[in-house]
Amino acid sequence: MNSTYHGSCLCNKVTFRVNGFSAQAANCHCTMCQKFHGSAFGTLVGVVGLNWNSGFECLKHYTAPNGTIRTFCQECGSSLGFRVKNAPLEEIELAIATFNDDIPVKIDAQIFTNYRANWCALQPDLPIFNEGRK
């Protein structure tokens, strides 16, 4: 199977493509995801065969106090990705909502729910992890 999935930031300066995805993807309710994505939770997915098609020079990288690195478009502010501390850009997990089309990924968990915003209900059909995935 050889598929290509395209994504972009809001202003479309940053565009990318990947060939596949990690097996797992979770809705992360941690406070950093809330702030970074400006929403109740962030959903990031590991990718295979990432290529930046355009806008590489627009990528801006913010290192949080805990060392994790978050990447966004400095033109439009779109939240694009996440890396663990000291990870190279190649290991970025991408914000799942930046893909243009349907992708073969199923959210299978809700993590860091200890920090959930009180105005957002959890999904009853998905496993809940108070902190990270065990």
Q: Considering only residues 3, 4, 11, 60, which one is a binding residue for Zn ion as defined by CB under 5 A?
A: 11
Q: Considering only residues 9, 45, 95, 103, which one is a binding residue for Zn ion as defined by CB under 5 A?
A: 9
Q: Considering only residues 18, 25, 26, 28, which one is a binding residue for Zn ion as defined by CB under 5 A?
A: 28
Q: Considering only residues 18, 25, 26, 33, which one is a binding residue for Zn ion as defined by CB under 5 A?
A: 33
Residues 35-94 that bind Zn ion (CB under 5 A): 73, 75-76
Cα dist from 127 to 71, 124, 131, 133, whole Å: 28, 8, 12, 10
Q: How many helices (H) and strands (E) does the chain have?
A: 1, 10
User: Can you tell me the distance from the alpha carbon of 25 to that of 111, in angstroms, rounded to the nearest whole number?
Assistant: 10
Q: Does position 30 bind Zn ion by CB under 5 A?
A: yes
The distance in angstroms from the start CA to the end CA of the chain is: 30
Binding site for Zn ion (CB under 5 A): 9, 11, 13, 28, 30, 33, 73, 75-76
